[in-house]
Amino acid sequence: MAGVRLLVGTRKGAFVLTSDEARKSWDVSGPHFAGWEIYHVKGSPIDENRIYASQSSSWFGQQIQRSDDGGKTWQPVDNTFAYDGVPGTHQWYDGTPHPWEFKRVWHIEPSTTEADTVYAGVEDAALFRSNDGGKSWHELAGLRGHGSGAHWQPGAGGMCLHTILIDPSDAKRMFIAISAAGAFRTEDGGESWKPINRGLKSEYIPDPEAEVGHCVHRLAMHPSRPNVLFMQKHWDVMRSDDGGNSWREVSGNLPTDFGFVIDVHAHEPETIYVVPIKSDSEHFPIDGRLQVWRSRTGGEDWEALTNGLPQSNCYVNVLRDAMSIDTLDSCGIYFGTTGGQVYASSDSGDTWAAIVRDLPPVLSVEAQTLR
Amino acid sequence: MIRVVLPAHLKMHANVNGEVMLAVDGPATQKSLLDALETNYPVLRGAIREQGTLKRRAFVRFFACQRDLSHDEPDAPLPDAVASGAQPFLIVGALAGG
């Protein structure tokens, strides 16, 4: 049956939300792994029943779970994330060298071409790959070792590798982003990496145009145009038309250019979505009005989408991995909040409705389009 | 047999109900007990002790016989009452407060 499966990671477990194509009525399954923090859950684009979940706890560490039946049952796979060789140091908050220490997996990205290949972005920032469905992991050490790693510094949320984009036309070409180091690109499957931060300006670092040190919150790409990248930075919404070699700001008329999520419409590569968030430090919608903003022009010109979203007394946040889209003919957009709501639009963002309202704080939302 | 009580999170993760009963090779120590536990339940590797260093995770505690054994040396003998199975070895998640 065609439909949509939403994989929702929360502070206290994972939830699987399923609907048919109409996306009006949803079945809610969960919590899976109750009591554990689920930073991310993502399905394979090759096999919709193969799903990975990052399960972690400050008490009991990191686990990785795998399902081969669409989230009905799960099996723990390998949870050893050992940095390659002597890990060395990065900069700590006070500028002193600090040893690289594994804390958790923030993001899981299954390969677009190999069923058993999956990538994991971790804190402290590094990229790992498994070629056996999660049974073993090894670091792609060229990222930390490319030259600037010793100068990376954590953001307030930790030094996390949170975004992994794979070029659909060339699986060896990938883009990743790290808070607070910036964006990086590989052309050789992760062996070597290049910082791609030219054009970013961050007034909160000593050299606002430094090669690294930028707090990139999220990258997005339409699969038909892998050279066009969109970025929600700590401040500023940015766009690159050359695979990240250069960036320009497209914040335009947004009420604030701070936020965490950014995503691209499934069928309109110039239609993008953000959720503006008030900052510094408040991290809730402006005036308590939850709004998704949409640009149909690839940035600069934005419109507020409010129909069905709370327009008073709403003080939630939408975290960086908590927006996703489906690829049905009428594109669905989904996002989760730190207040435990998951909102859905089945008409490209024109109207919204809450699927669930009282989950634990939502960390991530991934949509799987079922055929 | 040594009796081990896991915290709720790890019971769920290891699919365990009630106490775990372990046979330990050689002297009964924290290390030999945890080695046996991880051999019998590989999914617990990294959840009680850190991967590689095998240090106790910071927010995990070991209690038995009304004593906190968390800071004992890994190779120190366990209390006789634990080694004989008269008393359980408790693996506890430290309280979070709040």
Q: pLDDT (tens digit, 9 = 90+) per residue, B32-43?
A: 999 999 999 999
B93 close contact with A: CB closer than 8 A: yes
Whether A59 and B45 lie within 8 Å, measured CB to CB = no
pLDDT score, position A242: 98
**pLDDT tens-digit series, residues A329-344:** 999 999 999 999 999 9
Q: What is the CA radius of gyration of chain A?
A: 19
Q: Which residues of B44-56 are buried (b: 16+ CB within 10 A; e: fewer)?
A: bbbbbbbbeeeeb
Those residues with Cβ within 8 angstroms of residue A358's Cβ, 6 or more apart along the chain or in another chain: A340, A341
Q: B77: burial class by Cβ within 10 Å (0-12, 13-18, 19+)?
A: middle
| The pLDDT of residue A167 | 98
Structural contact between residues A127 and A159, judged by C-beta atoms closer than 8 angstroms: no
pLDDT (0 to 100) of residue B98: 57
Predicted TM-score (pTM) of this structure: 0.95
Looking at residue A204, its pLDDT comes to 87
**B55 vs A: CB within 8 A:** no
Q: Report how far residue A1's alpha carbon sits from residue A55's, in angstroms, rounded to the nearest whole number.
A: 29
Q: Supply the pLDDT for residue B97.
A: 60
The structure tokens 């799987």 sit at A368
What does the DSSP 8-state code read for residue A192?
A: S
Residue A2: what pLDDT?
87
pLDDT value for A327:
97
Q: Which residues of chain A lie closer than 8 angstroms to B16, CB-CB?
A: none
Low-confidence ranges of chain A (pLDDT < 70): 1
| C-beta atoms of A35 and B12 within 8 A | yes
Do residue B51 and residue A79 have CB atoms under 8 angstroms apart? yes
pLDDT given at position A289: 98
**What pLDDT score was predicted for residue B90?**
98
> Residues of A numbered 64-103 whose beta carbons fall under 8 angstroms of chain B's beta carbons: which are they?
76, 79-82
pLDDT in tens, A218-254: 999 999 999 999 999 999 999 999 999 999 999 999 9
Q: How near does any CA of chain A get to the CA of B59, in Å?
A: 5
Minimal-distance CA residue of chain A relative to B8: A35
Contacts of B59 in chain A (CB under 8 A): 58-59
Q: What is the pLDDT of residue A87?
A: 86
